[in-house]
Amino acid sequence: MSSRLEKLKAIGILIMICCLMLTGCQHTDKQMKTHEEVLASTITSIPEKDGKVLIVTGEYPPYVGEKLNNQGFLTEMIENTLKNCDFDYEIKFYPWARCREMVKKGLAWASYPYGDTKINRETYLLSNMIYSTEHRYYYRKDNKKFAGSAKNFDSLDDFTDFVFGGANAYWYGNRRDILNLGVKAEWAEDSDALLKMLYTRRIDFMIEDELVCKDAIHRLFPEDVNAFATLETEAKQVDYYMLASKYYPDSEKLLKEFNEEFLKTKSSESQK
């Protein structure tokens, strides 16, 4: 009888231990879930540093540049608008890929300048148009492939016998998109790298904003600026926008205020 009682006690103790362990595991799971929820919330709602709305951008002279006068003429235009908005802000410079990622995740409110592309529309909120410009075809003057009829080309799929040089985040797409047109393509990090490839004949042509390319040619090849030429036909008329995050706190409200103030600022400047 005594032996049987001892066995029952032992079984009871084991049951109690198991219950305590299960309760502890459930509590730990709840704690882990709570921690994960807090982390997820933090990622999508990072508070502004010192109460300031964070705007990020990269190097794209003469539009934007950390060491340019007023950090570029487009930055000056945007700051003239932001000064009239009812929120404090700060502009920081990062590599372009990081800018896009920060805005995408809500770690920064907005970035500029960008074109209106399908992926941008799907991923971000777009401001009203802030600037319009021309993107042109650039090539070396001494490239005999561009003699005669080649100068009449007016779309990328006309260049099947040429090597195109491109970079990411442009309206013409990625390298695979160009190859699918039947055009050979080489890829680089930015327009400076592409111009160097063009100069050394690694590519036959590239597409770039006319202001950006003019600035880069004079900066990179001051002794040989006449080595480059453009086709008469423009590649595309491009409008630039500010990309705003879908996850930054009050992003839509901030963007609405920016859009309204930008129109006012633009109107007042045109009347001067």
> pLDDT tens across 47-103, in order?
445 689 999 999 999 999 999 999 999 999 999 999 999 999 999 999 999 999 999
Instruction: Give 180's contacts (C-beta < 8 A, 6+ positions apart).
Output: none
**Cβ within 8 Å of residue 193, ≥6 positions away:** 167
Quick one: pLDDT band at residue 153, thresholds 50, 70, 90? confident
Bridge partners for 238 per DSSP: 133
Q: Per residue in 229-268, pLDDT tens?
A: 999 899 999 999 999 999 999 999 999 999 999 999 887 7
Give the pLDDT score at 212: 98
Instruction: Report the sign of the C-alpha dihedral through residues 121, 123, 125, 126, in that order.
Output: negative
Query: Model confidence over 122-141: pLDDT tens digits?
Result: 999 999 999 999 999 999 99
The gap from C-alpha 228 to its chain's centroid, in whole angstroms, comes to 28
Residue 31 is predicted with a pLDDT of: 40
Predicted local confidence at residue 1, as pLDDT: 44
Which domains are seen in the chain, by residue range? 49-131+240-270 (3.40.190.10), 133-237 (3.40.190.10)
pTM attached to this predicted model: 0.78
> Is residue 17 predicted with pLDDT exceeding 60?
no
User: Three-state DSSP class for 221?
Assistant: coil
